[in-house]
Chains A and B, each alone.
Chain A
Amino acid sequence: MMEKGLYLYCVVAGNETRGLEIKGIDGQPVLTMPIDDLTAVVQECQTPIANDDMKILSDLVLIHQAVIDLAWERFQTIVPFSFGTVVVERDGKSKEENLREWLERESETLKEKLRRLEGKAEYGVQVSWEPAKMMEKITRNDKEVRSLQEEIHSKGTGTAYLLRQKLERLVKERMEVAADAYFKEFFQGVRGQVEEVRVEKVRKEDPSRQMLMNLSCLTPKGETSKLGEFLDRITKIEGFHVRFTGPWPPYSFVNF
């Protein structure tokens, strides 16, 4: 059953009465609801808002981000909501009353978040390596690995098979140690250039690459030259790749 709701985009500081010049979901106007020196950026909607159609889903995500981008540009500092947050009518209270009560209750927390995020933007940093290339480099001067390799060459098939398994385990271990060391070094480097860092789950990459590190970084908007320089140094190391994305509204820094 369809139900009427208020789709939430973000919360901004101050009492803003002017809506945004953009069409939201289902072509609805994007409104501002000022409450107690905070303003919610919302629109009327029907809920559930989505079905399984991929095209419609990607449109909704696009609209969510486009509205939040425009609000971010206009109001400078925002606390963005997660995609698909809809306030509905409950317990004899209208959706507007429910939203107002929630905002009043969370007022201090939200204001604190807005203060912390003022003028800041989020950037994504992902570092990957090519294990095949790195393996050679990491084990080249490793005595234990070298002597195992030589032993494999000099032994008969049966023994060589077992030794190869041993070698595989050893190389895997060395790779893990190396990955750990690189992570620590890169993490320290990135942390030194930004205000806050969050470690995210690594994602799956195309088969030749492996993601070592996925970070969300918070820094004053546009001030990325030092971080960029540090990342340039990583890209110069053979076998390493860096992705640097943003600026994003501070999605990763609003839930605590």
Chain B
Amino acid sequence: MEPVRQGHAGIVDLLDRVLDKGLILNADLIISLAGVPLIAVSLRAAIASVETMAKYGMMRELISLPQENPR
């Protein structure tokens, strides 16, 4: 069995990592995390089902992680 990054499982795993993990900078005075906890909640709500993701066109876009000019 080979690991994959694509598909719904890949997206959910990716969001879990990007939103909840990674280094937390514990220095309240110099950082601004405004709105991020809320972002996590809304994104999670949106990925609750594959159907919702497909509806918003997020499936396709999240699958092909852009390497250049992502915007």
Contact = CB atoms under 8 A, between A and B. Distances in A.
Interface of A: 3, 5, 8, 11, 21-23, 26-27, 47-52, 54-55, 57-59, 61-66, 69-70, 79-88, 90-91, 95, 98-99, 102, 122-124, 126, 200, 203, 224, 228-229, 231-232, 235, 242-249, 251-252, 254-255
Classify chain B: how many residues form its interface, as a range.
35 or more
Contacts of B69: 22-23
Nearest to B27: A102
Contacts of A98: 29-30
A65 B30 contact: no
Q: Is the interface of A mostly helix, strand, loop or mixed?
A: mixed
B24 to A, nearest CB: 5
A58 B61 contact: yes
Contact of A244 (B4, B20, B29): B4
Q: Which 3 A-B pairs have the closest CB atoms?
A: A82-B22, A84-B36, A251-B17
24 contacts: A26-B71, A48-B34, A54-B56, A57-B43, A61-B43, A62-B62, A65-B14, A65-B65, A70-B67, A83-B18, A84-B35, A85-B25, A87-B30, A87-B31, A87-B32, A102-B25, A122-B17, A123-B3, A124-B3, A242-B1, A245-B5, A245-B9, A245-B14, A254-B21
B1 A231 contact: yes
A59 B65 CA distance: 10
Nearest to B6: A245
Contacts of B33: 84-86
B1 A228 contact: yes
A23 B70 contact: yes
